[in-house]
């Protein structure tokens, strides 16, 4: 971060005005000028740059929705600030309404300065004046009378940047997890699972059931992220305790949306913890996107509680659920173990195979279908064991391993035949499906900045 002199700031303003004039002369249509409203001598930083990028994405998204193509866009990222200029063929008043909607409704909108010049170079005024950055008073009285110090203004901007980016990243988390869940259910073919071909080995659910569940849970992922950020200074176990309470409420919401069908209980536990871990690691300047680090924090948060669960099961000597019975009889730790051990299935199996398939030019569907096979082949899916019994489940896993041994990327027709056999045997690898959804999400979170 560099402090700019008044002369440097004025020179940048003059250059922007000259570029606006050039666009007006070249296209004879309105011009949009987007800058950040940052008082004080520091006009750019990683924090300011991230916020500007959010505003630019919102602006470009709304223009695209209106069917408008920016002409000769000019993007500047300098110490004197971030700038975006473009000419737009459209009605200036409509463009101003779009810009005002962003300024007035987005979490970071108060820091966005989106001007619209009509084809004659006249800047359109806002319908309503904006409030003071510090106290919220409407109008320019605070600025003209210098009621707030530069330090107060800078502190207010910093708080708005951090709070706004937290809200934006929370929204992105909710969207990305929801998309990962929808991509998982739509991945086709999947042995024994609901997909676009059939309902798998299930009679009580279909894709619409999963769609309803995913929509109902969208806010839950954002809330888990915020819970992680809010408890980041507390012990990791405290975050996990809060997430478990939230997970129970999310399960009830899921069951209401699905008329009592369990579609995403495992995902609520697994991905809710992942979102909480991302929140604990979050920083406004550079959110952590490294899946291995996220896995480490999942382990830190959950290990104590999970190990206590296992000790309690052993003391009882019997399990109250099939997952607990499988642990006591075979030592298979299921989703709890996956978290306590730092997401080993996702990190060592899911992500490497998904990335390798995508690198070969496969689309997301086929890459997901092959990745699911490798997750099933681990032989730790307690849902598979529950529905078929240990012997049948072991034989099914062996068949998947044989298929992969013959070819790392089997023909989809072979997977469809495997699907038929899983359906006949009432087998459904739901735990592996949850791991696939977590894999899809973490890949997106890492790569889609």
* Parallel/antiparallel/unpaired status of strands 31-36 and 112-117: antiparallel
Least Cα distance to 220 among 294, 258, 163, 170 occurs for 170
Consecutive H or E run containing 94: helix 92-105
Q: 3-state DSSP call for residue 353?
A: helix
Q: 156 and 134 in contact (C-beta within 8 Å)?
A: yes
Q: Select 6-127's CATH number: 3.30.70.260, 3.40.50.10090, 3.40.50.150, 3.60.20.10.
A: 3.30.70.260
Between CA 234 and CA 279 the distance in angstroms is 12
Please, is 83 exposed, middle or buried when counting C-beta atoms within 10 Å of its C-beta (0-12, 13-18, 19+)?
buried
Question: What Cα–Cα distance (Å) separates residue 441 from each residue in 22, 30, 199, 433, 437?
Answer: 44, 40, 23, 12, 6
Kindly give the confidence (pLDDT) of every residue in the chain, 449 residues in length, as a single tens digit, with 9 standing for 90 and above: 789 999 999 999 999 999 999 999 999 999 999 999 999 999 999 999 999 999 999 999 999 999 999 999 999 999 999 999 999 999 999 999 999 999 999 999 999 999 999 999 999 999 888 888 888 888 777 777 778 888 898 999 999 999 999 999 999 999 999 999 999 999 999 999 999 999 999 999 999 999 999 999 999 999 999 999 999 999 999 999 999 999 999 999 999 999 999 999 999 999 999 999 999 999 999 999 999 999 999 999 999 998 887 777 777 766 566 666 676 666 677 788 999 999 999 999 999 999 999 999 999 999 999 999 999 999 889 888 888 788 899 999 999 999 999 999 999 999 999 999 999 999 999 999 999 999 999 999 999 86
| Domain range list for the chain | 6-127, 162-447
Strand partners, 371: none
Strand partners, 117: 31, 123
Q: 202 and 209 in contact (C-beta within 8 Å)?
A: no
pTM for the whole structure: 0.92
Cis-peptide into 189, omega within 30 deg: yes
- Beta strands, E only, 37-194: 71-78, 81-87, 112-117
Between CA 222 and CA 178 the distance in angstroms is 10
């Amino acid at each position: 971060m560099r402090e700019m002199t008044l002369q440097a700031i004025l020179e940048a303003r003059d250059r922007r005005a000259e570029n606006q004039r050039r666009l007006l002369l070249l296209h004879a249509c309105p011009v949009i000028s987007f800058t950040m409203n940052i008082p004080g001598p520091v006009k750019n930083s990683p924090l300011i740059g991230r916020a500007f990028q959010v505003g630019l994405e919102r602006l470009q998204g709304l223009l695209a929705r209106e069917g408008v193509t920016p002409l000769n866009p000019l993007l500047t990222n300098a110490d004197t600030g971030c700038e975006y200029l473009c000419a737009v063929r459209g009605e200036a008043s409509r463009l101003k309404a779009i810009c005002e909607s962003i300024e007035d409704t987005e979490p970071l909108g108060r820091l966005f300065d989106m001007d619209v010049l009509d084809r004659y170079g006249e800047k359109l005024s806002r319908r309503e004046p904006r409030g003071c950055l510090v106290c919220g008073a409407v109008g320019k009285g605070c600025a003209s009378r210098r009621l707030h110090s530069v330090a107060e203004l800078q502190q207010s901007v910093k708080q708005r940047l951090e709070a706004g980016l937290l809200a934006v990243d929370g929204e992105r988390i909710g969207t990305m997890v929801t998309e990962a869940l929808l991509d998982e259910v739509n991945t086709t073919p999947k042995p024994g699972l609901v997909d676009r071909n059939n309902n798998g080995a299930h009679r009580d659910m279909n894709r619409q059931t999963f769609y309803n569940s995913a929509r109902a849970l969208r806010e839950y992922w954002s809330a888990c992220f915020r819970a992680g950020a809010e408890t980041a200074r507390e012990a990791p176990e405290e975050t996990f305790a809060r997430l478990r309470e939230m997970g129970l409420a999310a399960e009830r919401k899921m069951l209401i949306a699905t008329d009592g069908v369990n579609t995403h209980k495992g995902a609520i536990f697994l991905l809710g913890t992942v979102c909480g871990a991302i929140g604990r690691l979050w920083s406004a300047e550079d959110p952590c996107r490294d899946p291995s680090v996220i896995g480490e924090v999942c382990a830190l948060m959950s290990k104590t509680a999970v190990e206590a669960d296992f000790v309690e099961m052993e003391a009882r000597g019997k399990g109250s659920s099939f997952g607990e019975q499988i642990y006591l009889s075979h030592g298979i730790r299921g989703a709890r173990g996956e978290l306590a051990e730092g997401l080993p299935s996702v990190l060592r199996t899911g992500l490497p195979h998904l990335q390798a398939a995508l690198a070969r030019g496969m689309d997301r569907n086929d890459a997901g279908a092959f990745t699911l096979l490798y997750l099933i082949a681990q032989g730790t899916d307690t849902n598979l064991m529950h529905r078929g019994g240990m012997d049948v489940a072991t034989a099914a896993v062996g068949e998947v391993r044989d298929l992969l041994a013959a070819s790392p990327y089997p023909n989809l027709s072979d997977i469809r035949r495997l699907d038929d056999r899983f359906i006949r045997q009432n087998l459904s690898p739901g735990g592996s499906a949850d791991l696939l959804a977590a894999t899809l999400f973490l890949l997106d979170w890492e790569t889609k900045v």
